[in-house]
């Protein structure tokens, strides 16, 4: 499968750009972003549902695990590409917990995702070239709750756009609402949809909380 190799995430300068974006404050911190409120509400529901451990897939610089709410309520780990973990996440959050892994590569074993009560994808599936395939791959390993945060949905066919991001280009996927449902329903019988929220700032961007406990 063609797996995003041409995107900025695999470029040499990406991790350094991500680190500089934080250090030089070109990037709004997570707790100042327009989607922070919906993220915290869904995390709160997940906590209420009994989740205690979480893994943040495509964690970037690792700010989610530094949020006071997260530190207070969860034991958190982030996973991202090795270069991003080594050159951006660890330098900025030396006390964080990180796993180096290409989550869409067919080789690495990602069954470790099943060891967490909550799997979060925050701005991760939407940057994928094959978003439904990657979501399907991840969900197959999840054994608890899943929070898909910040995903464009469309009533029309699924489509991709490209945009500038961290020294290169990234995909932005807009997923057909019914195709997303098909991935969930055909593969995960018994899935419990707990919450769906549209983003405060951008109404076509959604966040979901699912219970995929077998």
Ligand X SMILES: C[S@@+](CC[C@H](N)C(=O)[O-])C[C@H]1O[C@@H](n2cnc3c(N)ncnc32)[C@H](O)[C@@H]1O
Per CB under 6 A, residues contacting ligand X are: 4, 9, 58-60, 80-81, 84, 102-104, 122-124, 127
Contacts of 190 (CB under 8 A, 6+ apart): 214
What is the closest distance, in whole angstroms, from the C-beta atom of residue 3 to ligand X in the complex? 7
Name 79's bridge partners.
57, 99
| DSSP designation for 86 | I
Tell me the C-alpha distance between 165 and 176, whole Å.
24
Of 10 and 155, the one with the shorter C-beta distance to ligand X is: 10
What is the closest distance, in whole angstroms, from the C-beta atom of residue 187 to ligand X in the complex? 20
Q: Check the CA dihedral 33-119-174-42 and report its sign.
A: negative
Task: Name residue, tokens 């549902």.
Answer: 49
Contact 149, 123 (CB under 8 A): yes
Neighbours of 51 (CB within 10 A): 21
Residue 171, token pair as written in the block: 């995909």
Please classify residue 42 by burial: count the beta carbons closer than 10 Å to its beta carbon, then call 0-12 exposed, 13-18 middle and 19+ buried: buried
Of 185 and 201, the one with the shorter C-beta distance to ligand X is: 201
Of 58 and 131, the one with the shorter C-beta distance to ligand X is: 58
First to last CA, the chain: 28
Of 59 and 139, the one with the shorter C-beta distance to ligand X is: 59
What is the closest distance, in whole angstroms, from the C-beta atom of residue 112 to ligand X in the complex? 13
What is the closest distance, in whole angstroms, from the C-beta atom of residue 82 to ligand X in the complex? 9
Residue 39, token pair as written in the block: 């993220």
What is the closest distance, in whole angstroms, from the C-beta atom of residue 204 to ligand X in the complex? 17
Of 114 and 186, the one with the shorter C-beta distance to ligand X is: 114
What is the closest distance, in whole angstroms, from the C-beta atom of residue 117 to ligand X in the complex? 19
Of 102 and 211, the one with the shorter C-beta distance to ligand X is: 102
Residue 51, token pair as written in the block: 């989740």
């Amino acid at each position: 499968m063609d797996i995003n190799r041409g995107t900025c995430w695999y470029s040499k300068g990406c991790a350094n750009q991500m680190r500089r974006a934080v250090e030089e404050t070109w990037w709004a911190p997570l707790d100042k972003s327009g989607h922070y409120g919906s993220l915290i509400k869904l995390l709160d529901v997940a906590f209420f549902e009994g989740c205690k451990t979480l893994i943040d897939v495509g964690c970037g610089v690792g700010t989610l695990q530094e949020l006071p709410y997260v530190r207070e309520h969860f034991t958190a780990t982030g996973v991202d590409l090795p270069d991003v973990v080594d050159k951006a996440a660890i330098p900025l959050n030396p006390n964080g917990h990180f796993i180096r892994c290409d989550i869409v590569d067919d080789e690495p074993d990602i069954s470790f995702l099943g060891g967490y009560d909550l799997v979060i994808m925050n701005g991760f599936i939407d940057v994928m070239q094959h978003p439904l395939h990657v979501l399907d791959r991840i969900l197959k390993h999840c054994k608890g709750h899943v929070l898909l945060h910040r995903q464009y949905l469309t009533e029309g066919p699924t489509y991709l756009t490209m945009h500038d991001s961290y020294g290169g280009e990234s995909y932005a996927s807009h997923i057909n609402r019914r195709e997303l449902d098909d991935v969930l329903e055909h593969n995960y019988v018994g899935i419990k949809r707990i919450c769906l929220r549209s983003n405060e700032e951008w109404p076509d961007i959604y966040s979901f909380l699912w219970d995929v406990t077998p």
